[in-house]
Chain A
Amino acid sequence: MPSSQSSKYVPNNEEVNLPAIGIKGWLRWTWRQLTSMRTALILLLLLAAAAIPGSVFPQRSADPNGVTSYFDANPVLAPILDKIQLFDVYTSAWFSAIYILLFTSLIGCVLPRTAAHWRALRLPPVPTPTNLKRMSAYRAVELPAKKKQHDALLAKAFAILKKQGYRVVLENPTPESGRVKASLGSVSAERGYLRETGNLIFHLSLIGVLIAVGIGGGLSYSGQRVLVEGESFVNNLAGYDSFSPGTFFNENQLVPFSVKLNKFEVDFYRDPSLKNQANAGTPTDFRAYVTTTLGSTGKQSQGRIRVNEPLAMPNANLYLTGNGYAPSITIRDAKGQIVYAGTTAFLPQDKNYTSLGVIKVTDVPKQYGIISFFYPTVGTLSSGALTSLYPDAALPLLSMNVYQGDLGINGGQPKNVFALDIKNMKQIAGGKSGVKGLRLQLGETVALPKGLGTVTFDGLKRFASLDVDYNPGGVWVLIFALLALAGVTTSLLVPRRRVWVRKTETGFELAALARGDDPILEKVITELAADLTAKPKKEKR
Chain B
Amino acid sequence: MNSISLNADLAAVARLVVEAAMLIYTFAFLTFVYHLSRLANKKKSIRAAATKLERVGIILLAIAAVVHGVGVVLRGIAASRVPWANMYEFSITGSFVVVTIFLFALIIKDIRLLAAFVAGFNLLILGTADTIFWIPVKSLMPALQSYWLVIHVMVAVLATAFFNIAAALSIAYIFKTAKWVQVSKLKLVDLIRRILAVFPNEEKLERLSYRFNIIGFILWTFTLIAGAIWAERAWHRYWGWDTKEVWTFIIWTIYAGYLHANATRGWNGKRSAWLAVIGFVAILFNFTVVNLFFKGLHVYSGLK
Chain B residue nearest to A45 (CB atoms) is B257
- Name the residue on A nearest B243 (C-beta): A55
Which chain A positions have C-beta within 8 A of B235?
319, 321
A150–B242 CA distance with the chains assembled, in angstroms: 67
Interface window among B159-167, B194-202, B247-255: B247-255
| B139–A308 touching, CB < 8 Å | no
Bound: A285/B145 CA distance, A = 9
CA distance A41 to B142 in the complex (A): 41
- CB pair A282–B236 under 8 Å, yes or no, is no
B233 within 8 A of A: yes
Given A481-B225, A485-B221, A308 and B234 touching (CB < 8 A)?
A: yes
B241 lies within 8 A of A267 (CB): no
Given contacts A283-B141, A306-B142, A485-B225, is CB(A66)–CB(B295) below 8 Å?
yes
| Alpha-carbon distance between A482 and B222 when the two chains are bound, in angstroms | 8
Q: In the complex, what distance in Å separates the CA atom of A346 from the CA atom of B257?
A: 49
Q: List 22 A-B contacts (CB under 8 A).
A: A41-B264, A44-B260, A45-B253, A48-B257, A51-B250, A55-B290, A55-B294, A62-B240, A62-B242, A63-B295, A269-B4, A271-B6, A279-B6, A282-B141, A283-B142, A284-B4, A319-B235, A319-B236, A471-B238, A474-B238, A517-B211, A519-B211
In the docked arrangement, what's the CA distance between A478 and B214, Å? 22
Bound Cα distance A286, B234 (Å): 13
A428 CB-CB contact with B under 8 Å:
no
Q: Is B59 an interface residue (CB 8 A)?
A: no
Q: Which residues of chain A have C-beta atoms less than 8 A from B256's C-beta?
A: 44
B189 interface hit (Cβ, 8 Å):
no
Q: Any chain B CB within 8 A of the CB of A121?
A: no
Rounded to whole angstroms, the CA-CA distance of A493 and B219 in the bound complex is 13
Chain A residues in 8 Å Cβ range of B137: 276, 279
CB pair B236–A492 under 8 Å, yes or no, is no
Q: Are A307 and B232 in contact, with the CB atoms below 8 A?
A: no
Task: Check B234–A45 contact: CB distance below 8 A.
Answer: no
Give the shortest distance, in Å, between B47 (CB) and chain A (any CB): 28
A244-B118 Cα distance, complex, nearest whole Å: 49
**For the complex, is A467 an interface residue (Cβ under 8 Å from B)?**
yes
Residues 210-238 of A, flagged 1 when their CB comes within 8 A of B and 0 if not, give: 00010000000010000000000000000
Whether A493 contacts B142 by the Cβ 8 Å rule is no
In the assembled complex, the Cα of A252 lies from the Cα of B243 at a distance in Å of: 34
A192 to B114, CA, bound (A): 32
Residues on the B chain within 8 Å of A397, using CB: none
The A1-57 residues at the B interface (CB cut-off 8 A) are: 37-38, 40-41, 44-45, 47-48, 51-52, 54-56
A474–B234 CB distance below 8 A: no
Q: Does A488 contact B218, Cβ atoms closer than 8 Å?
A: yes
Asked if B218 contacts A38 (CB within 8 A), the reply is no
In the complex, A269 Cα to B136 Cα: how many Å?
A: 14
Q: How far is the CA of A319 from the CA of B238 in the complex (A)?
A: 13
Residue pair A59, B214 in contact (C-beta under 8 Å): no
CB distance from A511 to the nearest CB of B (A): 20
Chain B, interface SS category: helix
Count A interface residues, CB 8 Å: 61
Bound-complex Cα distance A516 to B210 (A): 11
B45 interfacial contact with A, CB 8 Å: no
> Judging by beta carbons under 8 Å apart, are B139 and A269 in contact?
yes
Would you call A90 and B254 a contact (CB within 8 A)? no
Residues of A within 8 A of B (CB): 37-38, 40-41, 44-45, 47-48, 51-52, 54-56, 58-59, 61-63, 66, 89-90, 213, 222, 267, 269-271, 275-276, 278-279, 282-286, 306-310, 317, 319, 321, 467, 469, 471, 474, 477-478, 481-482, 484-485, 488-489, 492-493, 516-517, 519
> Once bound together, how far apart are the Cα atoms of A406 and B235, in whole Å?
39
- Which of B141, B230, B236, B254 touches A222 (beta carbons < 8 Å)? B236
Q: Write out the residue numbers on chain B whose beta carbons fall within 8 Å of the beta carbon of A40.
A: 260
Are the C-beta atoms of B260 and A37 separated by less than 8 Å?
yes
**Residue numbers in A under 8 Å from B143 (CB-CB):** 307-308
Residues of chain A with a CB closer than 8 A to B84's CB: none
Q: B1 near A310 (CB under 8 angstroms)? A: no
| Cβ–Cβ contact B264 & A37, under 8 A | yes
Cα–Cα distance between A70 and B137 once the two chains are bound (Å): 35
A88 vs chain B, min Cβ distance (A): 10
- Inter-subunit contact A485/B141 (CB<8 Å): no
**In contact, A37 and B263 (Cβ under 8 angstroms):** yes
**Which residue on B lies nearest to A275, using beta carbons?**
B8
Residues of A within 8 A of B294 (CB): 55-56
Pick the contact of A38: B241, B259, B264, B295 (CB < 8 A). Answer: B264
Query: Which of B139, B233, B242 is within 8 Å of A279, CB to CB?
Result: B139
Q: Is the CB of A62 within 8 A of B6?
A: no
A37-B264, A55-B246 as given contacts; A61 in contact with B241, CB under 8 Å: yes
Asked if B267 CB lies within 8 Å of chain A CBs, one says: yes
Cβ–Cβ contact A284 & B240, under 8 A: no
Residues of B within 8 A of A (CB): 1-2, 4, 6, 8-9, 135-143, 145-146, 207, 210-211, 214, 217-218, 221-222, 225, 228-230, 232-243, 246-247, 249-250, 253-254, 256-257, 259-264, 266-267, 275, 290, 294-296
**Contact of B246 with A51 in the complex, beta carbons under 8 Å:** yes
Contacts of B261 in A (CB 8 A): 41
Residues from chain A with a CB closer than 8 A to the CB of B234 are: 307-308
| CB of B52, distance to nearest CB on chain A (Å) | 30
Question: Which of A48, A269, A321 contacts B253, CB < 8 Å?
Answer: A48
Chain A residues with CB under 8 A of B259? 492
Chain A residues lying within 8 Å of B214, measured Cβ to Cβ, are: 492-493, 517
B208 shortest CB reach to chain A, Å: 9
CB-CB under 8 A from A469, the residues of chain B are 236-237
User: Does B254 contact A485, Cβ atoms closer than 8 Å?
Assistant: no
Name the one of B6, B218, B228, B232 contacting A276, with C-beta atoms under 8 angstroms.
B6
Task: Write the nearest CB–CB distance from B144 to chain A, whole angstroms.
Answer: 9
Q: Are A267 and B2 in contact (CB under 8 A)?
A: yes
| Cβ–Cβ contact B1 & A267, under 8 A | yes
Residues on B with C-beta less than 8 A from A488 are 217-218, 221
> Which of A63, A284, A307 touches B139 (beta carbons < 8 Å)?
A284
Kindly report which residue of chain A lies nearest to residue B144, judged by CB atoms: A308
A213 partner residues in chain B, CB cutoff 8 A: 239
Q: In the bound complex, how far is the Cα of B210 from the Cα of A190, in angstroms? A: 24
Q: Which residue of A lies closest to B236 (CB)?
A: A319
Most interface-central of B217, B238, B261, B266 (chain A CB within 10 A):
B238
Contacts of B247 in A (CB 8 A): 55
Contact call B136/A276, Cβ cutoff below 8 A: yes
B253 proximity list for chain A (CB < 8 A): 44-45, 47-48, 51
- Smallest Cβ-Cβ distance to A484: which chain B residue: B221
Chain B residue at minimal CB-CB distance from A285: B1
Closest to B3 in A: A284
B246 touches A61 (CB 8 A): no
Q: Which residue of A lies closest to B240 (CB)?
A: A62
A56 vs B211: C-alpha distance when bound (angstroms): 33
- Minimum CB–CB distance from B178 to chain A (whole Å) comes to 22
Query: Measured between alpha carbons, how far is A32 from B243 in the docked complex, in Å?
Result: 36
A489, B218: Cβ atoms closer than 8 Å: yes
Which of B257, B263, B275 has the largest count of A CB atoms less than 10 A from its CB? Answer: B257
Asked if B145 and A307 make an inter-chain contact with CB atoms under 8 angstroms apart, the answer reads yes
**CB pair A307 B246 closer than 8 Å:** no
